[in-house]
Structure 1
């Protein structure tokens, strides 16, 4: 059933910027053919519907363990792959969990997939003027700290072990945001840096975190938990923090369990534990968890197993989703979901942290952190601010030269 499939503008106009997770050989050559859209409240199983759409367009999503001949070049006009975006709400639906507050960007679908073909190499259009207004937060510092304290009390009662608490902010803008979005996508350490756009909206991500990757017969996730300023003292403090390590290991165990739920997977192993990496001005702790993937595992099974990501929900996952829905005043929208690439020989989806959305009138950002029994409420509020600061700064950037195309043509 492919009732959600619709045509996409196939003019020679290039996309906003690089597609998140797309191979280097596809960058600046991918031209949209068809798109799938699913919104919260639409009928049907979104995991199965998007898998059917991608399979119908020639991508091997029914047998993710299968790898095609990588040496066979993709010529002009041939399908090279697809961008896939899954919102936090859609992930909750796939997992059978509680859905939170409505998205502050309701015009953006909750599942969006675009199939691309190779075409002539293009350049991004010259941007016009862009001005960003003041930010409006979804909650005050005191309200955010109070939510952290409520989670600590829930942990004390034994309701949950850990919950990720996320806040939202928006700012009005005028003009063409395309250059600002590309600046976000280009932030240092953005493993999934890229931009995905639709009718009147766009998402830009600077995410460093792998939600799930399938390559060469293995399924991999790289959860990130633990943050400090990118200084020598910050690195030492992160490595020495018993609280951060305990929080991190808890999420690694959750991710191991998620991968183990996949039918036919081999032993799940932790290839790397608590490695410290840099993203912009922050140190972050990352682990690598993987398993052998049987060829019978399909995309729908994979999405149901890993969405929404454990590092942005908590443990146990379904109980954490209940807490999130009760606490957060603004929906997570495009954040804390999945965005990346599905090709003929691999799948690579990043977690949509460090991500911004624009809807023709406002820019939206989200940030938060994992709360444990030892969390300090004010320190958690400050950590969330530190995570969103580089994204907000990139949106401002240097102002492009005047002489713009109108916003609707850019989106």
Structure 2
């Protein structure tokens, strides 16, 4: 674990803070106060470490049922938790090698308000992005889909989400490319978080967990079609997509019930079709009242990793993920957003890319059920990653 002081102007350019879910009125006025980086090799409980570190720096999140007013010391903090850290919290295997090992598994960056300032113009460096190298071939991806279907046939799982990875070498500054990604239409959690030799760009439309005025909200997304009139009709008429979606809604209801006041879990907007870039996606809203004394650590343990990117039952699906996916999920399928004394707003890091010192990394996948067709699942993953790769390349 590393507690790191704020980066100075000698080590990082002065850039506007644009972490996902940063309050709009605060962008451009935030100054980094302190940060924490943690990796799984450091040992310990990342959820507890995050809550303790935040409390030590003026963001006390020990009772989310009774939010505190904003204090004078700090505005809030960006919080990132990797998919592997979430799997560790769930008690699942985390032995798959990570393709971008410079990224931390937990990052907490605390900010306070300072004088308004403009971003320093970056040095003019040509941007070049090389060809993408996939972590598995379409045939290997399809074989993994068939393996999940076989496990469903045996009764091991009901659904498993499979995720593929790709990497491409680059030269130049990756931050403009990652900012373009965060600006994609429909990116409810659009933004960038940076550290020493790493950066994450997010264009996620999906709410992992939001807490406001003591109300817990999650918005699982499951079901995808091209953003055409025919695609929308096909998504609404698909019994397979609807069954897959409702399975995950039930899983999210169960996750919230563990940390909610008894009898308060409700489902709104079941299977509502919304647009992200060139895709229609089905989204539901699950709400509940936070139990008294619910702290940030228990919130993360109950909701990470998100059910829409694991499967059901969650622990059995995560064991399959560890056995079938050739590399780790890195910055994708985790949590990234904003926490403050009066609210929590974390997005699920789908539609996310990461940069290390040499490569850009992307991830994409989908949920596999008994009715899944392997070729269709491979095509769906490609459809999800196409706008991301085009945006990163500057097209």
Query: TM-score under structure 2 normalisation?
Result: 0.96
* 1:206 alignment counterpart: 203
* 2:133 alignment counterpart: 136
- Alpha-carbon distance change, 353 to 87 in structure 1, aligned in 2, over 3 angstroms: same
How far the C-alpha of 1:266 sits from its partner, in A, is 4.7
How far the C-alpha of 1:345 sits from its partner, in A, is 1.1
* 1:117 alignment counterpart: 112
Q: State yes or no: 1:331 paired with 2:319.
A: no
Q: State yes or no: 1:273 paired with 2:270.
A: yes
Q: Secondary structure at the match of 1:64?
A: coil
How far the C-alpha of 1:118 sits from its partner, in A, is 1.1
Taking the aligned partners of 2:153 and 2:229, their CA distance within structure 1 comes to 34
* 1:405 alignment counterpart: none
* 2:37 alignment counterpart: 37
Q: How does 1:106-185 map to 2 (within 5 A)?
A: 106-127=101-122, 128=124, 129-185=126-182
| Cα root mean square deviation, aligned | 1.5
Preserved CA contact (<8 Å) 2:16 2:27: no
Preserved CA contact (<8 Å) 1:264 1:297: no
Taking the aligned partners of 2:119 and 2:142, their CA distance within structure 1 comes to 42
Q: Secondary structure at the match of 1:59?
A: coil
Residue deviations 1:264-301 (CA, integer Å, cap 9, x gap)? 45521102200000000000000000101134100010
One of 94, 97, 100 as aligned partner of 1:99: 94
* 1:193 alignment counterpart: 190
One of 231, 236, 239 as aligned partner of 1:239: 236
Preserved CA contact (<8 Å) 2:159 2:369: yes
- Alpha-carbon distance change, 287 to 100 in structure 1, aligned in 2, over 3 angstroms: farther
Of the structure 1 ranges 91-100 and 156-165, higher mean CA displacement relative to structure 2 is found in: 91-100
Please list every run of 5 or more consecutive structure 2 residues that lacks an aligned counterpart in the other structure: none
- Alpha-carbon distance change, 232 to 263 in structure 1, aligned in 2, over 3 angstroms: closer
Preserved CA contact (<8 Å) 2:260 2:288: no
Taking the aligned partners of 1:397 and 1:367, their CA distance within structure 2 comes to 19
Q: Secondary structure at the match of 2:298?
A: helix
Preserved CA contact (<8 Å) 1:14 1:31: no
Residue deviations 1:101-120 (CA, integer Å, cap 9, x gap)? 12111111101100011122
How far the C-alpha of 1:41 sits from its partner, in A, is 2.1
* 2:57 alignment counterpart: 57
One of 218, 223, 234 as aligned partner of 2:220: 223
Preserved CA contact (<8 Å) 2:17 2:30: no
Please list every run of 5 or more consecutive structure 1 residues that lacks an aligned counterpart in the other structure: 399-411
Q: Secondary structure at the match of 1:285?
A: strand
Preserved CA contact (<8 Å) 1:270 1:290: yes
- Alpha-carbon distance change, 221 to 257 in structure 1, aligned in 2, over 3 angstroms: same
Preserved CA contact (<8 Å) 2:64 2:295: yes
Taking the aligned partners of 2:372 and 2:17, their CA distance within structure 1 comes to 38
* 2:6 alignment counterpart: 8
Aligned length: 391
